[in-house]
Amino acid sequence: MSGLNGGVGAARTDSGGARGDERQAVPADAVPNTAAGILKAAEQLVPVLRERADEIEQARTLPAEVVELLRGTGVFRMGWAREWGGPELTSMEQTHVVETLARGDASAAWAAVIGANTGLIANFLDQGVVKEVYPRLDMVTAGVLAPAGHAERVPGGYRLTGRWSFGSGIAHSDWVTSGAFVFQDGEPYASPDGSNPHESRQFIVPCVNVEVVGNWDTTGLRGTGSSDYTMTDVFVPESHTFTFWEARGRRSPLAQPESYMRPLCGVPLGTARAALDHAREVALSRVDRMTGTAWKDSRRVQVALAECEADLNASRAGVYGAMSRQWEVLAAGGTLDDLTVEERAASPLAWRHAFRTARSVVERLYDLLQTWSIGHGSVLDRALRDTATMCQNLTAQEAVLESVGAYLLGGTPRFRISLGLDV
């Protein structure tokens, strides 16, 4: 997962619950709870997000009203399983919702997909504490999965200390999940079954236990508020820890180690779609002042727009094609191991390609519109900065190519979770 703005967070405590009870602006029974309903609400929110894009950027986190508008679409609940009352959207449906929101504002879509991981996390938590931790479907879990913390084993649980970077959405979160290496008596703790010489886990704590470092001031995705955060000697009960390698809920296509990674590529796809729509609108109304030729009749414009459409459509088809095949196998009761090597490799490659293609499309459109692009806060200016920033996420990096290449050659991938491979 990956942020935030704000000053230092609330004081740490060793107990306490989520803070979202007083923030439910839309009654829970009025929030859409089907794929069609959530998508329709997301589509209706797009123009509102566009209108508030400047405000979101300036705040460096999502304004409270925007968070509640997102909550009202049902996006935060879309990963919840049906047995908990959730809509259990497929990964394809979730990605489509995220794409739609990104057409309005990339930061809002990024924060939305992070918050939507809450229902997926419930698949890996001790099932006896799920309702205790998440009494409502529309709560938000933020945090960083990388094991940047130190968790000391103590009776009944752990004492967690550390600093984590890029905690997207913490300013409006109810719970925070953080990765940490486990220690006992100050020494690295090995998994009892011998599978891991130094065990790491995820630790979920109430947001009031977290102190936020207000250091999110970036080129793009400014509204995600992805600040660092710290915890010091916070007690975490054993039942509030989990790993993505042990699903504790019903076996399902969403109870998979990499399920939380799938919809994130909807952000670049939706951002590039909005940029293309804007460029096309400009081209339909603009006339070259030097020649008097309408842009819509210009070969340069026609070719550029068509090439960008082709690249984005192909990238999007790759994402949904790989995702649909994976879902087909898992929904039939299979596992990720039942995919062919090429099918398993297709998803992380498609994710990375979506990020990189979106950035390329936006860069070409920026050049196409020339000085119409350069105004700070213009559609292309923001898209250029947002896609440049989101491409620094690990899912868009060369580590994906390296890991998938190693997997295809029978080697040991470094970024194993992107392939759903056990540690």
Interval 359-377: pLDDT, tens:
999 999 999 999 989 998 8
The mean pLDDT of 1-12, rounded to a whole number, is 33
Q: Report the sign of the C-alpha dihedral through residues 294, 299, 300, 301, in that order.
A: positive
Q: Which of 40-44, 190-194, 241-245, 279-283 shows the lowest per-residue confidence on average (mean pLDDT)?
A: 190-194
DSSP per position, 76-111: GGTT--GGGT-----HHHHHHHHHHHHTT-HHHHHH
Q: How far apart are CA 295 and CA 301, in angstroms?
A: 6
Q: How far apart are CA 344 and CA 88, in angstroms?
A: 22
Provide CB contacts within 8 A for 150, sequence distance 6+: 160, 161, 162, 180, 181, 183
Give tens-digit pLDDT for 88-126.
999 999 999 999 999 999 999 999 999 999 999 999 999
Q: How many domains does the chain have?
A: 3
Is 274 in the same domain as 190? no
Query: What's the confidence (pLDDT) of residue 423?
Result: 66
Is 297 in the same domain as 395? yes
Q: Is the pLDDT of residue 18 over 50?
A: no
The boundaries of the domain holding residue 111 are 20-133
**247 belongs to a structural domain:** no
**In 10 A of CB 43, how many CB atoms?**
15
Backbone φ and ψ for 359, nearest 5 degrees, come out as -60, -45
**253 belongs to a structural domain:** no
* CATH code of the domain containing 280: 1.20.140.10
**How crowded is the C-beta side of 325, counted as CA atoms within 13 Å?**
17
Q: Which of 20-24, 73-77, 205-209, 260-264 shows the lowest per-residue confidence on average (mean pLDDT)?
A: 20-24
Is 387 in the same domain as 290? yes
Q: Is the pLDDT of residue 24 over 80?
A: no
Stated pTM of the model: 0.92
How far is CA 89 from its chain centroid?
A: 15
